[in-house]
Amino acid sequence: MNKPAKPLSRNSTGAKGSKGAKRAAGPQGAERAERVAAPPLALTLYWRGDRLERLELGWIEGKDGAPELPVAASPEAHAVHKALTRLAAGQDAKFPDLPLCWDALPAFTALVLRTLFEQVPSGRTVTYAELAAMAGQPGKARAVGQAMARNPWPLVVPCHRVLGAGGALTGYTNPHGLDLKALLLALESGQGQDQSARG
């Protein structure tokens, strides 16, 4: 999974006190950003034109309710907020079809991430080796791991569902690390409520 770039501001990191979606110039050339929060999770959507360049996944501490989005938030942000709220509650959540910038990725990375996106639904996990085989690239588990590290759209393209050999939790490069990966899997299994608070 990709390592998020420096946040826009303190509010974009998932700290308490955020007021819903924020629009501003984003890092790495993104033209605007919208922040969607449903504690304990937050997603920042970075847009270039009408295409979603990348997502930043964060973990909110505390149990504050999910803030309402402003009326000016995009339809996509509202749909993501609805799905994120369901996921944070341990309910079945289907993220909307989003205009992801697939053609900006290297061919192998795009192939592996598309395979994951299309063939590994919520509640299912695969190993790096299994995903390599599913993508028609048997024997390339290490390269698949590198592709997961480059995933621009965490959670929506669910690299947290990819495990090491024997089902080991490995390889999650989000700053919150394997704790967040374990939380996401628990939420998707409907068993994450006791793990959603920290500290």
DSSP, res 100 = B
Helix (H) or strand (E) holding 32: strand 32-38
For 94, other C-beta atoms within 10 Å of its C-beta total 12
Helix (H) or strand (E) holding 47: strand 41-48
Which residue of the set 66, 135, 141, 159 is catalytic? 159
**CA 38, 41, 46: angle at the middle one, nearest 5?**
95
101 is known as an active-site residue = no
Phi-psi domain of 58 (left: phi exceeds 0; alpha: psi -120 through 50; beta: other):
beta
3-class state of residue 104 by DSSP: helix
Residues involved in catalysis: 159
